[in-house]
Amino acid sequence: MSRIVVIGATGHVGTSLVPRLVASGHDVVAVSRGIRSPYREDVAWRQVRRVELDREAGDSDGSFAGAIAELNADMVVDMMCFTESSAAQLVEALRGRVEILLSAGTIWVHGPAVAVPTRESDDRHPIGEYGTNKSAIEALLAAETRNGGLRTAVLHPGHISGPGWPMVNAQGNFDTGVWETLAAGEPLVLPNLGLETVHHVHADDVAQAFHKAIAHPDAVAGKSYHVVSERAMTLRGIAETAARWFGREPQLRFAPLEEFLATLTPEHADASREHILRSPSMSIAAAATDFGYAPRFTSAATIADGVRWLVADGQVDTGGRSLRE
């Protein structure tokens, strides 16, 4: 089996990916900025070599990419690349030394959809710094492979969710109070007609995708893939579904976008605007065909898994009502 270096190994996806790789017999080196615990404990971590590296500082002084190269990996999974210059340094250090570099992108490399489901081959019009930077990284990696250099592939997750942190809610932001409102059967305001979409994916399904891509390096080299649940959900659909988890009939009110945003705090309004403007609904046909990606969680099941954790952790008060899918 292979030695695989995972950069950002204790994050949302790495928490699930590392045990998968260990179970497959790989020699795993887990790189993170600090030696923190993963989101979920697993005995597999006892077999993992932990390496502490500060990427931001290492990119600044030019030491990070070389330190990764010195780990002598067969493959590298990069969950934490956010700038083109950081990607360029890593490519330069790994060229000729590893079989393939798999990088985590984002579905936000696409701007607002023209037709849905959006395919990887559709025209790209990213908006905002995050999506624009990730698009530039993808272009750099694709050109590197196309020109005969380091083999690379990019996997673009949707709204990564699951136990351990808040997820995008029915208003398109991260306000945990939205779940409390729905559980209480109280009125919730949505934008327009509530038909804008968000496309969740369970962290474990993203881990599944990287795991399977690692097993098919020849098929994925030079390509990019969407990694999301089978179907996106509308904001209205999330609200109605979540209310009924708690035995409530949804009490929804609708307002024009700017009027809706004015009801939110600046932080939540910004997040809602970003999600609503894009309203993603992505195709996973390419990932299914090339390496057998098959998400285990629907969008609704993904959200429910995360909400259960928020309730158990005391971050959401449902008034004693249990979540029943």
- Would you state the pLDDT for residue 45? 87
- Would you state the pLDDT for residue 325? 85
Whether the full predicted model's pTM is greater than 0.75, yes or no, is yes
CB 296: neighbour CB atoms within 10 A? Answer: 11
Q: In whole angstroms, what is the distance from residue 79 CA to residue 75 CA?
A: 13
- Would you state the pLDDT for residue 37? 77
Query: Which sign, positive or negative, has the C-alpha torsion 292, 215, 116, 307?
Result: positive
- Would you state the pLDDT for residue 143? 98
- Would you state the pLDDT for residue 40? 84
Q: In whole angstroms, what is the distance from residue 182 CA to residue 187 CA?
A: 8
| 10-residue mean pLDDT series, the chain (325 residues) | 95 95 97 82 91 96 98 98 98 98 98 94 95 98 98 98 96 98 98 98 98 98 98 98 97 98 98 97 98 98 98 96 92
- Would you state the pLDDT for residue 96? 97
